[in-house]
A and B are shown apart, each in its own frame.
Chain A
Amino acid sequence: MTVLVGKAGADDVVVRGARVLDPVSGVDAVMDVRVDRGVIVELGTRVDTNEHRVLDGEGLVLAPAFVDPHVHLRTPGREDEETIASGTAAAAAGGYCAILAMPNTDPIVDRSDVLRGLRARAADEAAVPVGFTAAITLGQEGEQLTEMGELADAGAAAFTDDGRPVASAGTMRRALRYNAITGRPIAVHAEEPSLTRGGQMHAGVVAAELGLGGWPALGESLAVGRDLALAADARRPIHLMHLSALESVELLQRAQEAGVQATGEVTPHHLCLTDDAVRTLDPNFKMNPPVRSDEHRQALIDALRSGEIAAVATDHAPHSREEKEVPFEAAPFGVTGLETAFAALYTHLVEPGLLPLETLLERMSAGPAAIFGLDRPRIEVGAPASFVLIDPRARWRVRADRFRSRSANSWLLGRHLTSRIVLTIAAGRVAFEA
C-alpha cells in the first residue's frame, strides 16, 4: 500500500529553457522538459510541444518538488485553523509535492478508523499527495502502544507522538521493537519533560534577561541520547524530529558513525533565527523546541550541509489569530512554514553563501523522501512529474492576507524574501501556479 493519498494527475505541459537542477542525478543544464499525461517524457533542447501548454522557463530553476515530513493539518478537530484542502494548497504554493501530517489532532490518530476517515477525505480534498502518521501510544499518553500493525495496514506513513515526548524509556523501547512488524519509521519528539516544564524559550542569557521560563538544550539532547541508545539496542531505525540543539547534533553524528540507522530533520526557523528574536515578545517567535543561540544555529546549518541532518521539515503549526493574540507567555507554541520554507532558506542560507542551492534542494526533497521510504521526486524520463519552477530573483514581502493556509502565524510576517515558487507540479498534476 502506498502511504500517500491524493488526486492522480495527467496534465500535459512543456517548460522551455529552464535551468534543470536535480542534485541527486547530477543534472544541471538549461533544457526543455515535456510532460505527457503527468509523466516526464522528454528532456532536451527544442523538444516538440505536441500542442501542450508551453511555459517559459527562462531565468527560472526547475527542480524536484519538495517533500515535507512534518506538517500539522489540524484536521480533525481544528478545521478553523487548517483543513486538508487549505494545508495541501499551502503546501503546493510552497513547492511541495508530498507532505506527512502529524497525528496530534482531536481525536488523535491512534485508531485505524480515524486514519481511514482522513485518507478518504484526502483522496477528494488534497491539492498534493498527503500521508498521515499515527500515534505511537494511545491518546499520545506515553503508556499503551497503538495497534501499529493494523494502523500500518490502514496506511499509516510513520509513527510519532509529535507534540509530546514518549516520556517512559520502557515504552519507547517496546515501541521501537514492536514496530519492526510494520517497516514504517518511528519519528520522535525528543523532550525530557522534567527539564522543560514551564519552558517558554531557549534557556540562556536572553531568557534570564526577559524572565521567561527556560527550555534548555539539555531538555532535548538528554532525550535524544536516550532514544539513540534505545534504537541502537533494539537495532531499529529512528528519526529525530525538529532538532534544535548543538548537543543533539553531536549525539546524532556519533550514533551514525557507530552504525545506528538514525536520521534527523531541522526546521527553517531553527536554521534562520536565534533567541534574540524573542526579545520582541511577539508570540510568532514562540515554538517548541525553541529557537536557540547562534552556536546551536550554526551547528544545525553545518549538519544540514554535511548531510548528517538529511531533511528540512517545516513543522508547519497553524494557530488561530485569537490563540496567538495574547501575551507571549500565554501563547501556544508553533508557527506556520509551508509557504515560506524555500524562500526563507534561500534568503537566509543560500544567498549569504552558507548553503549551496543544490544542497538545499536535496534536503527539501530526496532527503526527507528517503527517510520516510517515499519515491524520490526526480527529473528523469519516465518519472512522474513532480517538480517546481523557482524564480530565484523574485523579491516579495510576506503578508498575512496572502497565505493559502487558514492561519497566518508566521515568524516572517512583514519581512522581505528573495526567490519565489512560480509553479508546482505534484504527481503529474499542476497543483500551484503563481
Chain B
Amino acid sequence: MNGLHVIPGELLPPRPRERRHLLSVADLSREDVERLLSSARSFARSQERDTKKLPTLRGRLVVNLFYESSTRTSSSFEIAAKRLSADVLNVKAAGSSADKGESLKDTALTLSAYGPDVIVVRHPQIGAPHLVARVSDAHVVNAGDGKHQHPTQALLDLYTIAEQLGRIEGVHVAIVGDVLHSRVARSLVQGLRLMGASVVLVGPPTLVPAGLADVSHDIAAIEAADVVYVLRMQRERMGEGGHMPSLREYSARWGITPERVRPGQRVMHPGPMNRGVEIDPRVADAGSSLVVDQVRSGLAVRMAVLYDLLTAGPVAVEAAVEVA
C-alpha cells in the first residue's frame, strides 16, 4: 500500500461556476458568517422603528418555492423580502403544477422566465435547491432540503446565541435528540464549529450519527452546556422498524425537564415543539427559553441573507455546484 495515494483534487468534479447561492453552511467561511450576523444586527435595529420598510431591494423579485409545509420559515422569508421592498411571489407545491406532475426542473425553469433575483427553495428531497441552482440564473437560498441542510436556521441560531450570550466562540452547546434526521442539527453543528463553539450531541445511539461532533448517549452530558438545543422528535421514528421503541422511553431518558436544566443554562428549539415529548412545557415557557428570540432573529437574518446575495458585497456565499 506504500506510495498509493489518491489525488483527491484530480478525482473531484470540475470547479463550480461562480454564482452566489446559500445552499449549505459548509460553503460559508467565518468571515461570511460574521458579515451576515453584523448586517442582521443592523436590520434588527431597523425593525425597532415605526416605519419598518427599507427601500434596499426595490424592484427585485424574490420567489418562495415551498414543497413542504412551513410556517415560520416561509412567513419569515416573505416578511424579510417585503421589509426590503422586494416583490414576492409565493409558490406552494399544493395547488401548483407540481400537483400535475411537473418536474422540479420544469417548475424552476418556468419561474425563472420571470427573471427572479432570488429563489428560496424548500423541498423534502436532498439536492433539490442544487438542481434549481443548476437550471436557473437566480440566486438560490436553501430553506431546507430533506435531512441535509437548513442554513438560514443555523444562521438565526448563531445570531440568537451571539445576542443572548454576547459571543459564540468558546460557547458549549449540547444538541439533544434526533440528530440523524435533522437538517437543523447538521447545519448548526457546522456553523457552531466554524465560529469556534464546542458541541456535544446527546441522544439515543440509533439517532445520533458518528463523525459530526462529540457524542454522548447520557442526558447528564448536557450539564456542562451553556446552551441546550432541543430537536423535534418525530413520531414516525418510533415503533416497528423504527429507531426508538417508544416516545415514552424517549421522553423518560432524553426529554428536557426542569430537573435536567441547570440554572443559567439557555434552552433553544427550532420549532415546532412537541410539548411534553422532547421538551417539558415548563422549560419551553421559562425565562431561560430563547424560542421566541429565535423566531425574531429569523426575520433579521433572512433580511441579511437576501441583502447579501443581491448587493455587490464580497463574493463569498458560493455553492459547490457543478454546471453541466
Contact = CB atoms under 8 A, between A and B. Distances in A.
Specify which of A277, A280, A285, A415 lies most central, judged by the most chain B CB atoms within 10 Å of its CB: A280
Interface residues of A, number: 41
B125 A328 contact: yes
Contact of A326 (B12, B13, B131, B186): B131
A188 interface: no
A282 B211 CA distance: 23
B320 A212 contact: no
Contact of A281 (B103, B127, B209): B127
A414 B13 contact: yes
B321 interface: yes
Interface stretch (A254-262, A296-304, A309-317): A296-304
Contact of A354 (B4, B103, B190): B4
Given A208-B210, A327-B128, A327-B130, A414 B322 contact: yes
A241 B144 CA distance: 37
Interface residues of B, number: 41
Nearest to A328: B127
Specify which of A210, A273, A298, A354 lies most central, judged by the most chain B CB atoms within 10 Å of its CB: A210
Given A277-B13, A327-B127, A414-B13, A294 B324 contact: no
A294 B186 CA distance: 23
A165 interface: no
A276 interface: yes
Interface in A236-283: 272-274, 276-277, 279-283
A51 interface: no
B212 interface: yes
A34 B4 CA distance: 40
Contact of A352 (B1, B7, B130, B182): B7
B312 interface: no
B240 interface: no
B194 interface: no
B11 A272 contact: yes
Contacts of B4: 298, 301-302, 354
Given A276-B8, A328-B127, A322 B14 contact: no
Specify which of B104, B127, B182 lies most central, judged by the most chain A CB atoms within 10 Å of its CB: B127
Contacts of A353: 3
B50 interface: no
A270 to B, nearest CB: 12
B324 A208 contact: no
Given A281-B126, A414-B13, A209 B8 contact: no
A325 B1 CA distance: 38
A348 B127 contact: no
Interface in A307-357: 322, 325-331, 348, 352-354
Contact of B6 (A210, A211, A297): A297
Contact of A330 (B13, B125, B182): B125
Interface in B1-51: 1, 3-4, 6-8, 10-14, 26
B145 A327 contact: yes
B145 to A, nearest CB: 7
A242 to B, nearest CB: 19
A322 to B, nearest CB: 7
A346 to B, nearest CB: 13
A205 interface: yes
A211 B183 contact: yes
Interface string B131-159: 10001000000000111110000000000
Contacts of A209: 26, 186, 190, 211-212
A29 B135 CA distance: 51
Contacts of A27: none
Contacts of A392: none
Nearest to B209: A208
B302 interface: no
Interface in B78-129: 103-105, 123, 125-128
Nearest to A321: B105
Interface string B303-317: 000000000000000
B12 A329 contact: no
Contact of B14 (A272, A298, A330, A414): A414
Contact of A208 (B145, B212, B322): B212
B321 A325 contact: no
A213 to B, nearest CB: 8
Contacts of B12: 276-277, 280
A370 interface: no
Given A208-B210, A282-B322, A327-B131, A415 B126 contact: no
Interface of A: 200, 204-205, 207-212, 272-274, 276-277, 279-283, 285, 294, 297-298, 301-302, 322, 325-331, 348, 352-354, 400, 413-415
25 contacts: A207-B209, A208-B209, A208-B211, A209-B186, A211-B126, A211-B181, A211-B182, A274-B11, A276-B11, A277-B11, A282-B130, A297-B6, A298-B4, A301-B4, A302-B1, A302-B4, A326-B103, A326-B125, A327-B104, A327-B130, A327-B146, A328-B125, A329-B128, A413-B324, A414-B324
Q: Which 6 A-B pairs have the closest CB atoms?
A: A328-B127, A211-B147, A205-B211, A281-B127, A327-B125, A208-B209
